[in-house]
Structure 1
Amino acid sequence: MQTTGTFTVSDWTPQPYASGITTGVDVGHAHMRKTLDGAITGTAHTQFSYAYDNTTGVGTYVALETFTGSIDGRTGTLNLAHTATTTGADTRHAAQLVIVPASGTGDLTGITGTGDIRIDPDGTHHLDLDYTL
């Protein structure tokens, strides 16, 4: 099954992080809260780690998030893991997103799948899932 929701970031809180190694881009960690609407409705809490250059827009992130809400009317919780890289010139990230196996609860027990995060030119963020229950 395929489904889509939109989301907004309701909180972005940088966390103390010091790798002890200096590289060509800033490295950091943040906690993030998202609100999702549409066929995917609910909230997500995300651990977000990144290596990113604010000047050029070049960078990569990895994230693990917990979601509670509903997907196509099925209520429960699950985990998502995702990563993306941008060269700074593209608006489409080379993204990978997976529903963490065995993480679903409630009506989402047994859910598996992959997905994508898309950003429209106007800044609207979408979560697209291709899943099996």
Structure 2
Amino acid sequence: MGRGTTATGTFELTSFQPEAIDEAPGAALGRVVITKVFTGDLAGESTVHMSSVMDVEGAPAAYVAVERFTGELAGRKGSFVFLHCAPGTAGEELAIRVVAGTGTDELAGITGSLDITRTEDGGHTYVLDYILG
């Protein structure tokens, strides 16, 4: 991403509200609203609005989502939006980016990318590489 700053920490899912929207044979389509609490360099809450596809066996196949974070990043207050894209194609990885132009207040001008790791105990850690414009 270039010369930027790295933020690390953990997050917890505080709610998960799925809704089936199309269960036709071959692939089921759904929506999920998820809320999270972040701790660490990124401290605050987010709401995720996800659209997902399940394959014929009921396993996750792909998803896209938008996630609005509100809180603090390294002591700066504001909000911004992440875009998630998990194409489901073999060899392609989950990509999560900060949507340019969505930063508010002290986070105006933020750009960046987020990596998420699921831990053995089911928790989540994150690494946010970002630049504040």
TM-score normalised to the size of structure 2?
0.82
Q: Following superposition of structure 1 onto structure 2, how do residues 10-89 of structure 1 map, counting pairs within 5 Å? A: 10-15=14-19, 17-18=21-22, 22-53=24-55, 57-84=59-86
Query: 4+ residue stretches of structure 1 with deviation over 3 A?
Result: 53-58
Task: Indicate the residue corresponding to 1:90 in structure 2.
Answer: none
What is the deviation of 1:7? 0.9
% identity of equivalent residues: 33
Shift of 1:17: 1.6
Give the count of matched residue pairs: 126
Question: What corresponds to 1:96 in structure 2?
Answer: 95
Q: SS in structure 2 opposite 1:130? A: strand
Report if the CA contact (8 A) 1:57-1:86 is conserved: no
Task: Write the deviation string for residues 89-124 of structure 1: whole angstroms up to 9, x where unpaired.
Answer: xxxx82101100010011101101112121112211
Q: 1:74 to 1:45 in 2, by over 3 A?
A: same
CA distance change for structure 1 residues 55 and 35 in 2, over 3 Å: closer, same or farther?
farther
Distance 1:63 1:54 in 2: 21
Describe the shift of the 1:103–1:32 C-alpha distance in structure 2 as closer, same or farther (beyond 3 A): same
Task: Give yes or no for contact 1:6–1:125 (8 Å, CA) kept in 2.
Answer: yes
Look up the equivalent residue of 1:121 and give its one-letter code: E
SS at structure 1 position matched to 2:35: strand
Question: Structure 1: where are the runs of 5+ without partners?
Answer: 88-92
TM-score by length of 1: 0.82
Displacement, 1:16?
A: 5.2
Gaps of 5+ in 2: none
Q: Over the residues paired in the alignment, what is the CA RMSD in angstroms?
A: 2.3
Distance in 1, Cα, partners of 2:27 & 2:125: 27
Q: Is the 1:118–1:126 Cα contact (8 Å) retained in structure 2?
A: yes
Match of 1:107 in 2: 106
